[in-house]
Structure 1
Amino acid sequence: MLADFVSAICFLCNGAVWNTMKHSIIIADDDPHIITALKLLLKSESYDVSAVTSPEALLQSLKQRDYSLALIDLNYQKDTTSGNEGLDLIRAIKTLDEFLPIVVMTGFSSVDIAVAAMKSGASDFIQKPWDNDRLLSILQTQIRLGASEKQGGRLVEQNTLLRNELSSADTGIIAESVTMQRVLAQIEKLALSDMNILFTGENGTGKSMFADYLHSCSTRKSHAFISVNMGAINENLFESEMFGHVKGAFTDAKYTRIGRFELAQSGTLFLDEIGNIPLSQQGKLLRVLEDHQFEKVGSSKTIQVNVRLVSATNASLTELIRDGRFRQDLLYRLNTVEIKIPPLRDRVADIMPLAQHFLLTFASKYRLPSQGFAEDACGALKAYDWPGNIRELSHIIERAIFLCQDDHIGVKDLGLSDAKPCGESGYDFDNASLEDIEKYIISQRLNRYDNKAIETSASLGLSRSSYYRRLEKYKF
C-alpha cells in the first residue's frame, strides 16, 4: 500500500500529466493510503475525485449526484478475501445507474473473482499494486465507453419526441423493444452525418421505412427523398432512369427526362434491393459515387450532384461478390456504415404494439369496429416465427379483421394454426451445420438478454474475447 502511495508521488514528479476533460470519479476503498494515492494520481489528470470508505457510503453518494466512473475495492472490513462485498456492491450500483462504468480493484489475484465481477456488471478489473499508466488507460477508456452508452440512451429517450416533431406524416415506426430502440438511436446519430448507409435484413423488416426515417432525421430533410426499386429497372433503361436523357437520345426519347440522381439533388437517394443492379451498370453507378458527377444519356454536359446515398438489400452482397455478380469496390462505396434491421422474431416486444397499430389502421380504412385481440391470439402472435416479418403481420391482421365474427380477434381468425412456432420446430436443427446452429443460438441469447454483452457471454460460457470474435464472425 505504501508502495502504491510512493508510486503515485513519483508519477507526479516525473510530470507525466495527461490532458483530460473534467470527469468525475468516485473511489470506494477502506484503506486511507490507497485513497490518498489514487486522489493524488487522478487529480493530477484533472479528474474530479470523491472518495468513500464503505459500500454504504458509496451508494448514498450515487443517490446524490452523477459520476463518470466508480473505482471500487472488492473487499472491505466485513470480509477481506472473498470479494463478496464488492460483488454485492456492483449489483447495487447497477440498480441505481445501469450506465455507470465500474472498475474493480483487489489485492488478491484471482481469476474467479475477476470473472464474477464482470458477470455482476463491472466494466474492467485491475489488481493492486497497480501500474499507473495501465490504470489511467483503463479509466479513460471506460469513461469514454460509458459516456457513449449514456448518450445512446438519451437518443433512445428522445426518439418519441423527435418523431412527433417531424414535419412529414407519421413514420409508422414502432420500437418498444430494446433491440429496436438501439437501432433507432444509431439511425438518428448517423443521420447527422453525410455517410452512405447500407440497410441489410430480411424481406419485410421495413428497410425502406427506416431509410425514410433516416432522411427525416438528417439535415437534408427539407430536400427530396427519392426511392428507387432497383429490381424494377430494366437493364437497358438503367442510365435513363438514374441519370436522365435528352430529347432524341434514342428512338423513344420524345422528351427530355430528369433522372433520379438529379431529382434527389441536395437530398437523399434511396436504392432499394441494391443487389439487383446489373453487373454491366454497376461501374456507371460507381463513377457517380466517386466523382459526384454524371452526364444525361445523349448529352456531353457534365452535371454535378450532391446527394446522400442510402441503399438496402436482403441479399448477401459478399456472396454476390464471390459469384462475380457484384463489384467489391461498389460495395465499399455503398456501406460506409451498415445497419442491420433485426427480423420480427428477434423483437418480440414489438409484435403486439405493431399488431394493435395495424388493427387500428385497417379498422379505420375499412370503417370496421376495432375488435381487439383475445388472449389466445396474443399468445399465437408472439409465438409465431414470422418468416415474412412486419409485412406478413400486416397482411394477417388485415385478413383477420374480415374473418373475425366475435368481439375479439381469436387465434382461429389469424390462420396461424399450421405455422411453426418460434423456438420449437421453427428451426431445422437436423439439417443445419454446426456454424448455423451456433449462429442461431447466439441470436436467441442476444434477444433474451437484450444484447447485453456480459449476460449473453456468461450464459454461453464464453470469455469476452471469444464472445466478440463470434459477433464479428456472424456480423451481429
Structure 2
Amino acid sequence: GLSETLFESELFGHVKGAFTDAKTDRAGRFELADESALFMDEIANIPLAQQAKLLRVIETGDFERVGSSKTLHANVRIISATNSNLEHEVAAGRFRQDLLFRLNTIQLTLPPLRERRDDIMPLANSFLAQHAEHYRKQIAGFDETARERLLQHRFPGNVRELDHIVERAVLMTQDRQICGIDLGLANDGGEPRNLEEMSLEEVEAFLIKKALARNDGNARKAAEALGLSRSAFYRRLQQYGL
C-alpha cells in the first residue's frame, strides 16, 4: 500500500519541499472535492494509522497539507465501497469502529454479479465499447456463444473480472465480433484457462474452433489456415465433436 506520507499527500496535498519528490505545491483529493463528493474504493484496506487521519477530516473537515501547519477546510461527502465485512474487520481489530460509524450513514449492499444476470450483457457491451475505442478496433458486439459463456460464468471477481475478460477478448479477437473462445472461459462457465493448463487434444480443439470462427464457419478455409488437408480436418471435427 501507500506509505503514510504518500497517503496523506494523495488525500490532503503537500507543499513544495515536504518530501523528496515534492517539487511544487499540490492540492489533495479532499481539497479538490470541496463542496462535492469523494469516492473511496476498498476502504477496508486503509491501515489503522491512516484511518485516524481520515476520521479527523470526515468529522471536522479540517486537514493540513503535508509539510504545512496551515489548517484547511473542505466540505466533502464521502462515498466508500468495500467487498469486506467491516463489522468483522472491526472485531478483528483491523478497522476503527468510530470510522465505521462515521461512514455508515447510509449502507447499500450490492449483490454479486452472479446474482444480477440481467446486468451482465449491458455491462459487457459498455466495456466492449470502451476497450474497442481505446485499442482502435472495430468490433460490433458478442456472438451468441460469447453471450452464453458470459451469462453462465460465476464471476468470482464481480464487475472487475467482467471488465478484464472483455478487455482481453478485445485484444485477442481478430474478428468483427467477440466469439466465445475469445473470452478464455471454460465451457462450464468456470475460471479462465491458460493453454498451459490444457491437454494437447484440448489445445487442438481450441485452435480448430478459433479457425472456424475466423473463417465464418467455412471448413475449407479453416483447414487451409491450419495447414491441414480437408480429410484430416474433418477427422478432427468428428473426433472432437465439433
Range class of TM-score, shorter chain: 0.5 to 0.7
Contact 1:385/1:420 (<8 A) preserved: yes
Q: Which residue does the alignment assign to 1:156? A: none
TM-score by length of 2: 0.66
Q: Work out whether 1:281 is the aligned partner of 2:50.
A: yes
Q: Which residue does the alignment assign to 1:307? A: 76
Give 1:262's aligned amino acid.
E
**Change in 2 beyond 3 A, CA 1:336/1:373:** same
Of 246, 269, 294, 2:63 maps to 294
Contact 1:321/1:328 (<8 A) preserved: yes
Q: Which residue does the alignment assign to 2:88? A: 319
Give 1:300's aligned amino acid.
S
Which aligned pairs between 1:8-407 and structure 2 lie closer than 5 A?
Answer: 231=1, 233-249=2-18, 253-401=22-170, 403-404=172-173
Q: Secondary structure at the match of 1:337?
A: coil
Contact 1:245/1:257 (<8 A) preserved: yes
Deviation at 1:279?
Answer: 0.9
TM-score by length of 1: 0.36
Bigger Rg, structure 1 or 2: 1
Unmatched segments (≥5 aa) in structure 1: 1-230, 423-476
Q: Which residue does the alignment assign to 1:138? A: none
Deviation at 1:299?
Answer: 3.3
Q: Separation in 1 of the partners of 2:171 and 2:73? A: 52
Contact 1:374/1:409 (<8 A) preserved: yes
**Change in 2 beyond 3 A, CA 1:315/1:417:** same
Unmatched segments (≥5 aa) in structure 2: 192-242
Deviation at 1:412?
Answer: 2.6
Contact 2:132/2:138 (<8 A) preserved: yes
**Change in 2 beyond 3 A, CA 1:358/1:306:** closer
Q: Separation in 2 of the partners of 1:262 and 1:243? A: 7
**Change in 2 beyond 3 A, CA 1:321/1:415:** same
Q: Sequence identity, in percent?
A: 58
**Change in 2 beyond 3 A, CA 1:317/1:246:** same
Q: Secondary structure at the match of 1:313?
A: coil
Deviation at 1:245?
Answer: 3.3
Q: How many residues align?
A: 191
**Change in 2 beyond 3 A, CA 1:370/1:241:** closer
> CA RMSD of the aligned region, Å?
2.9
Contact 1:235/1:278 (<8 A) preserved: no
| 1:141-163 CA-partner distances (Å, limit 9, x unpaired) | xxxxxxxxxxxxxxxxxxxxxxx
More off after superposition, 413-422 vs 292-301: 413-422
Q: Separation in 2 of the partners of 1:243 and 1:291? A: 14
| 1:322-351 CA-partner distances (Å, limit 9, x unpaired) | 121111001111121112222221111122
Q: Separation in 2 of the partners of 1:405 and 1:296? A: 50
| 1:75-133 CA-partner distances (Å, limit 9, x unpaired) | xxxxxxxxxxxxxxxxxxxxxxxxxxxxxxxxxxxxxxxxxxxxxxxxxxxxxxxxxxx
Relative contact order higher in (CA < 8 Å, ≥ 6 apart): 2
Q: Separation in 1 of the partners of 2:42 and 2:142? A: 35
Q: Secondary structure at the match of 2:81?
A: strand
